[in-house]
Amino acid sequence: MHDIRAIRENPAAWDAALSRRGVDAMSSQVLDLDRARRAAITAAEEAQAEQNRASKEVGKAKASGDEGEFERLRALVAAKKAEVGEMQEKAKGLDAELDTLLAGIPNLPLDSVPEGVDENDNVEIKRWGTPRSFDFTPKEHFDLDGVKPGMDFEVAAKLSGSRFVVLSGAVARIHRALAQFMINTHVDENGLTETWAPVLVREEMMYGTGQLPKFGEDSYKTTNGWWLIPTSEVTLTNIVNGLIVDEDYLPRRYTAHSQCFRSEAGSAGKDTSGMLRQHQFEKVEMVSVTHPDKSLEEHDRMTACAEGILEKLGLPYRTVVLCTGDMGFGAQKTHDIEVWLPGQDTYREISSVSTCGDFQARRMNARFRPSAGGRPEFLHTLNGSGLAVGRCLIAVLENGQQADGSVDLPEALHPYLGGKTRLTAEGTLA
């Protein structure tokens, strides 16, 4: 949500920042609504004052026996009461209209975000690891002999339709091991607090992190009004929804391993083979709640946490800063981490780490009380994948594949697999 005072004070700067995201100037529309809303509030207050003055005079007229003045004043009180109600309803309606308008406008990019239209304009800032040279043509994950027995798309389609998968046996165990490895690393080495939270949330929680009202078609809603989370960013960030915390409460750093659900409404025809893009998947999420002065530092810290998982697994990756045209709705700045997939001969996104500034906090009314005193201020929130478990499974399988269809597994996973080091060509662990 945007700060209406900032728009009033410098509408040209606000429009200029929006234009970097490809959004037309909107300050005039916003400020026209704001002026009408404030005018209705002022009119209601003035009518209320007149009603109060007339009410005081009614008693005096009654006591003096001036029946004509008494009736005139009584009629005036009734008229002003109706006027107050009318103006209050008008102000309430305009307030809701303004909130709806502001809720559909994306966050403003930081000045350091590169300008651009789409992913082709993103800027690489780091590259780690060297993609392996194969003496055979590498396959995609779903074509590997050792993977086929444990990755069934036909059964999943029978159960649920397209964009689902059933994992079993060794492949399911590797998938689980990856999630456990990620959580343990974030808790034991990165200082995040492990959290387990619902995957069904109230509508206002989806609004708080920016999924609603604009992107409702991207998620699933139950018949009784709950929403299935697209990521545990929703639950973890909303822990501070409606709160005023002390400054020394900050920072709060959470991580959770959860099921996630996305309709993939805008991805028809994209990544239809394999398990790269699914309706139901698992992620290990990171969320930080910070002091405004610390959010950019925290953004770099969270990015390093996600990168560290890939480094421990020995998976080559690159990190890019998303351009203004490729950023998510609620982000001020985003780092995408892209892992190397030899089966596709390209880098693919495995984590997005974003700082949102106070954009989500304003929607959630989440604030902190400064230690030095003064009025409560809005928190800053950040979120990032640490990592997408299914995509990490794909990367492990493709990067470790051997000519016979087996897979050499990263050393970091061996303790989670009972000391097993390989997925054999027959689909068992050895």
Task: Give pLDDT tens digits for 268-321.
Answer: 667 778 999 999 999 999 999 999 999 999 999 999 999 999 999 999 999 999
pLDDT tens digits, 212-250: 998 999 999 999 999 999 999 999 999 999 999 999 999
Output the pLDDT for position 85.
84
Q: Which residue has the tokens 């880098």?
A: 347
Q: Outline which parts of the chain fall under CATH 1.10.287.40.
A: 4-103
Q: Mind telling me the catalytic residues? A: 262, 277, 349, 352, 391
Identify whether the C-beta of residue 416 lies closer than 8 Å to the C-beta of residue 404.
Answer: no
pLDDT at 127 exceeding the cut of 90: yes
Q: What is the mean pLDDT of residues 182-193?
A: 98
Which H or E run includes 176? helix 169-188
Looking at the predicted structure, is the pLDDT value of residue 133 above 90? yes
Indicate the pLDDT class of residue 50, thresholds 50, 70 and 90. Answer: confident
Q: Which residue has the higher pLDDT, 31 or 45?
A: 31
264 is in an annotated binding site: yes
- Structure confidence by residue, pLDDT tens digits, 92-119: 999 999 999 999 999 999 999 999 999 9
Residues 6+ apart with CB under 8 A from 395: 310, 313, 315, 339, 340, 341, 350
Is residue 267 annotated as involved in ligand binding? no
What pLDDT score does 38 carry? 93
Residues of the chain with pLDDT > 90, as a percent, come to 85
Q: Hey, what CATH class is 4-103 in?
A: mainly alpha
The pLDDT assigned to 88 comes to 87
* Per-residue pLDDT band at 332 (split at 50, 70, 90): very high
**Among 69-73, 75-79, 311-315, which stretch is predicted with the lowest mean pLDDT?**
69-73
Global pTM? 0.92
Averaged pLDDT for residues 120-147: 97
Q: Which residues contact 335 (CB under 8 A, 6 or more apart)?
A: 125, 299, 303, 319, 320, 321, 322, 352, 353, 354, 384
The sign of the dihedral angle between the CA atoms of 319, 324, 327, 332 is positive
Predicted confidence band at 65 (pLDDT cuts at 50, 70, 90)? low
Rounded to whole angstroms, what are the CA distances from 105 to 55, 98, 212, 280, 329? Answer: 45, 11, 11, 28, 8
Which pLDDT belongs to residue 67? 66
Residue 66 reports pLDDT greater than 70: no
Q: Does residue 349 have a known ligand-binding role?
A: yes
Nearest C-alpha neighbor of 162 from the set 287, 298, 278, 252: 278
CATH of domain 119-423: 3.30.930.10
Q: What pLDDT does residue 271 have?
A: 73
Q: What is the mean pLDDT of residues 160-180?
A: 97
385 labelled ligand-binding: yes
Query: Looking at residues 169-179, what average pLDDT do you find?
Result: 98
Kindly list the strands in the beta sheet with 280-290, ordered across the sheet, starting from the edge strand earlier in the chain. 123-128, 317-321, 333-341, 346-355, 380-388, 280-290, 252-261, 193-194
Return the higher-pLDDT residue of 44 and 62: 44
Q: How confident is the model at residue 53 (pLDDT cuts 50, 70, 90)?
A: confident
Interatomic CA distance for residues 39 and 301, integer angstroms: 46
Q: Where in the chain is the domain with CATH 3.30.930.10?
A: 119-423
Task: Look at residue 59 and tell me whether its pLDDT is greater than 90.
Answer: no
Whether residue 352 is annotated as binding a ligand: the answer is yes
pLDDT > 80? residue 80: no
Model confidence at 62, in pLDDT bands (50, 70, 90)? low
Does residue 57 carry a pLDDT above 80? no
User: Is the per-residue pLDDT at 182 higher than 70?
Assistant: yes
Q: Any binding-site annotation on 232?
A: yes
